[in-house]
Each structure stands twice: as C-alpha cells, then as structure tokens.
Copies of this chain bind each other. A is one copy, B any other.
Amino acid sequence: MATATKIDRRTEIRQTARKMFKERGYAATSMRDLAREVGIEAASLYNHLSSKEELLHEMCFDMAEQFFQAFSVAVADEKSPAKKLRAAIKAHIHVIASNLDGSTVFFHEWIFLQDPELARFKKLRSQYEQGFRDIVQKGVADKDFKEVNVKLAVFTILSALNATYDLYKSSEKLSEEEIAESMSNLLLKGLKK
C-alpha cells in the first residue's frame, strides 16, 4: 500500500494547494498553511514535492494542456467558422467548469512563475489564442463574420470566457451548457434585436 498511500497524499496536497492558491493567491499561501490544511507538518510536504513553485508550475501547465486538448478535439468535428467557434467556446467553458480551482490559478497566479517557465507559459497562451484568431479570421474571409478587428474580437471573447469560473460560486443555478449557449449567442449575434 505504500505506493497507493503516497499517490493519495500527493494528490491530496496538490488538490488542497489548488484550492488555497485560488482562494488566497500563491504568494499569500504559505507552506505551513498548506501543511496545516492537509494535516501534516510543513517539512513533511517535501516528501511529496520538491518546491512550492513546482506546485504552481504543475497546475499552470496541466491546465494549459487541458485547454489545448479540448480545443483541438472540439474544433476538429466542425466545418464552418461559426460552428467551430461555438464548439471552441463550449470546450473552453467545459475545461473551466471541470477544473474550477485549477483554472482560477491558471488565470491569476501564472505571474509568479519564474522565467524559463514563465516565458514558455506565455508562448503557450499566445498559441492558444492564435487558434481562436484563426477561426475568426476564416469567418471574416468567408464573409460569414463581420469585418471586425480579429485580435480585439478574440480578446473580448476570451476575456469573457476566462471569467466564467466566477459564475459557479454564485447561487444562480446555471449549467455549463446554458453558459456556453448564452455566451456564444451574445458574442455571435449580439444583444440588439
């Protein structure tokens, strides 16, 4: 059982760390805070991890991978830019909804990464955004979308999507599908009749 126990503790520590980094932020969460929450001494944490920053690093890059994975699967099935965009939006929201703590850390705490990884992280982010821009660009080229500023449009879309983790802590009972549907409609068809 040694291995199984270890994996459980490992997972528990990472889960707890995600929740605490989300709630108080990376810089304001101490290893002693984390240890207390897990129920062991701070020094004992180091049997399961090599540094505080490693925790953050893992969270950020794990989420990045999930976003990439979900995007490429979602987009592959669709033909038109509009459908691709809707699918990408839905996939993005799904990843957030399935990883509320992790995605919050991903969006807010990546600034505390140190520079070889920080640069790699930024590059991944911009690649991901490029995927959205390619879809919108194609839509404009096809005369299916208006002649918008593509960068700004994608910025607007992703900014709205990236805030959706906030929706799940309110008392409103909105499902993932409702959120994705409403946001897609608003962004594609607008508020005006």
Q: Which residues of A contact B (CB under 8 A)?
A: 24-25, 27-28, 82, 85, 108, 111-112, 136, 139, 143-146, 148-149, 151-153, 155-157, 159-160, 162-164, 166-167, 172, 174, 178-179, 182-183, 185-193
Contacts and interface: CB of A to CB of B under 8 A. Distances in A.
A156 B160 contact: yes
B191 A139 contact: yes
A152 B186 CA distance: 10
Contacts of A144: 192-193
Given A145-B191, A190-B187, A167 B139 contact: no
Central interface residue in A111, A186, A189, by most chain B CB within 10 Å: A186
Central interface residue in A24, A159, A182, by most chain B CB within 10 Å: A159
B188 A187 contact: no
Nearest to A147: B193
Nearest to A136: B191
B191 A167 contact: no
Central interface residue in A148, A151, A152, by most chain B CB within 10 Å: A152
Contacts of A108: 108
